[in-house]
Amino acid sequence: MGERASSNFASGRSDLRLPSLCLHKETIRIICFGWRSCWSKAMAASRHPVEELDPDVLACLSGVTDPEIGLSIVDLGLIYRARNGPQGLDVALTLTSPACPLGELIADNVRAQLACRFPAAPDIAVALVWDPAWTPDRISGQSRERLGLLAKVAL
């Protein structure tokens, strides 16, 4: 788990355990090659997981709206995975907040929309995920404009 501390600094305890570190290759790059550029790349990758996004599944899900915001869950960037394979459909989505009370309603709407569009699918798996956390930078440009998140530039 961790190394025992050899010092009794502040607490006077010699049994204090320090956390062990699990170094990932991105962490090593941060240490060795300059923390700023590597850190921003690692953070961008964690905010925007690279998953398979089937265009037909996304087109289907663009008809599902977030009831509180009134925009498509696809345009809001809530879809992290959308696969259509031999085993069926597999969708991972998040919400704008883990405290959102409408999570199950949105997931049910996703299942219903997929069942209508893909009636021959052997299985429809829809998972609510929280990692990485959703951020507003996942919203599409057009939806950002509709929400007033983009500053309009006067020519």
Is 4 among the domain residues? yes
Query: Domain check: are 90 and 66 in the same one?
Result: yes
* Tens-digit pLDDT profile for residues 89-110: 999 999 999 999 999 999 999 9
Asked whether residue 153 is assigned to any structural domain, the reply reads: no
pTM here is 0.65
Asked if the model's pLDDT at residue 153 lies above 90, the reply is no
How many structural domains are present in the chain?
2
User: For residue 139, what is the domain's CATH number?
Assistant: 3.30.300.130
SS (H, E, C) the chain: CCCECCCCCCCCCCCCECCCCCCCHHHHHHHHHCHHHHHHHHHHHHHCCCCCECHHHHHHHCCCECCCCCCECCCCCCEEEEEEECCEEEEEECCCCCCCCCHHHHHHHHHHHHHHHCCCCCCEEEEECCCCCCCHHHCCHHHHHHHCCCCCCCC
Asked if residue 23 is part of any domain, the answer here is: yes
- 152 in a domain, yes or no? no
- 41 and 82 both lie in a single domain: no
The range of the structural domain enclosing residue 84 comes to 55-147
